[in-house]
Amino acid sequence: MPKIKEKEEILPKSFYITTLGCPKNTVDSMSMHQSLLKEGLLPANDPEASDFHLINTCTFIQDATKETIQTILDSIDLKKKNKQKLVVVGCFAERAGKEISDDLPEVDLHFGTGKYDQAGDILKKTFPLDFKEIKEFNEDILERLTLSNSIENYSKPYSYVKISDGCNRGCHFCIIPNLRGKFRDSSEESVLSDTRRAVAAGAKEIALVSQDTVFYGKDTDKLLQLIESVSEVEGLQILRLLYLYPDKKMERLLDLYGKIDKIAPYLESPLQHVSKSVLKSMNRTGEYSYFKSLFEKARSVKPGLEIRTSFILGFPGETTADVDEIIRFIQDVKPEKVNLFPYSPQEGTKGFDLEGKLKDKEISKRVNLVRDVYLEVLKDTHQSRIGKIYPAIVDEVTEEGAIVRRFQDAPEIDEVVFVEDRNLRVGQIGNVKVESFFELDMAGSWIA
């Protein structure tokens, strides 16, 4: 009697999301992740093992664009070896969709911003055969997969929660409004839901992110109410606020820093410059003395607070005197963390057509000059930390020891403290004593 061939089981297709750029993109990748799960796809552990490789792109500055393009090219080589479909998503796809279609035929699909939560439906309509016989997951399985470590935002003791998208500022150097559109608040209910889900997945720290956090609620107290509500979520131990535009509303926000213990002693406020004339040319507000008073208030309301800011060097029309103002500001105010960017002309921004452009060599010279000044200030800052004990969280444990982060440092972008103790647990909260420092990072010992 001939053997009856059993019907071959059709396994669900898998996906992997490569996230480039800032934490806001990480949150967008979370949204895609959940959308793909809802359509029956399963997360893969790495790009090589996936049927669909999605790249969530960044094109904020030239270096980010270069990284995006190189990642796509590398992924094309990967695609050829693994017979997978390559999907390019996000800011670069929004900006260069035609170029992707014309010059990168190996990319099977691309779509821009604002469609992250529709990713599953978009893939299903584009590649229907890959979804044909897949059964839907029940809600319990879907929730477990949503909270799994296969998504980047739920594999660490911290998590990002996005409170808005888009921006209305119109800074002349920034392409974001062209890519993300006008400012749009998320509802308080959705922010609280995302926070609770992340905490349930194991996050001890939540960082609220957006393109312009202080614009949430515009001129109302909606942002202050949101922060108070998030701080009350059970299980949350550290609340970090990122991307705070330095204006009058931030002054009111700082009052909460002194009232809510869970808010980290950390202020991230990108000034971009301190020269009044350059800021005006950038279509931004403020100037040296205002920023100094703002940072002084932050330090007074939250003892131990440290400041992260950023400056753009080489904006059209910037003079050496303007650069000297930044240098004086760093020496005077001593922000603990400084990011420096060479001005990157972005087509489609008002800054792109301004007169007084500087040569790349001159811009690099100015960046290096300010960096050298900052590093000298940082040495003194590090020296003042030696012997001090700080509340801290364990981010990672390796064979060599643990990577610990003070509450004064944001995940992924700021300094860490190396501790030679392999017995610590990821997510453990305690105290770390700083004992020495490198150029940026530190070494120390854990104190229970």
Query: In angstroms, what CA-CA distances link 338 with 179, 305, 307, 314?
Result: 26, 15, 8, 16
Q: Side chain identity at 41, as an amino acid letter?
A: L
Taking the C-alpha atoms of residue 307 and residue 126, their distance in angstroms, rounded to an integer, is 46
> Six-digit token pair at 359?
């040569």
State the Cα–Cα distance between residues 184 and 168, nearest whole angstrom.
Answer: 9
d(CA 6, CA 258): 68
Q: Is 134 annotated as a binding residue?
A: no
Per the CB < 8 A criterion, the answer to whether 261 and 235 are in contact is: no
CA distance 9 to 16: 22
139: exposed, middle or buried (Cβ count in 10 Å: 0-12, 13-18, 19+): exposed
Q: Which whole-number Å values give the CA distances from 365 to 313, 330, 345, 378, 435, in the listed order?
A: 10, 17, 17, 20, 34
- According to the annotation, is 171 in a ligand binding site? yes
The answer to whether 174 is a known ligand-binding residue is: yes
Q: Can you tell me whether residue 429 is helix, strand or coil?
A: strand
Cβ–Cβ < 8 Å for 39, 123: yes
Q: How far is CA 156 from the centre of its chain?
A: 14
For the chain, count helices (H), then strands (E): 14, 18
Give the 3-state DSSP-derived string for 96-115, with helices as H, strands as E and coil as C. CHHHHHHHCCCCCEEECCCC
Residue that is written with structure tokens 């992340």 in the block: 198
Q: What amino acid occupies position 384?
A: S
Instruction: Please tell me whether 29 is known to bind a ligand.
Output: no
Euclidean distance between CA atoms 46 and 15, whole angstroms? 9
The CA dihedral of 394, 396, 402, 404, to the nearest 10 degrees, is: -40
**91 is known to lie in a ligand binding site:** yes
Nearest residue to 87 via CA among 58, 122, 117, 63: 122
By C-alpha distance, which of 30, 54, 298, 349 is closest to 290? Answer: 298
Which residue has tokens 């969709």?
A: 97
> Is residue 394 within 8 Å of 157, Cβ to Cβ?
yes
Q: Coil, strand or helix: which one is 208? A: strand
The answer to whether 87 is a known ligand-binding residue is no
Residues making up the annotated binding site for [4Fe-4S] cluster are 22, 58, 91, 167, 171, 174
Residues making up the annotated binding site are 22, 58, 91, 167, 171, 174
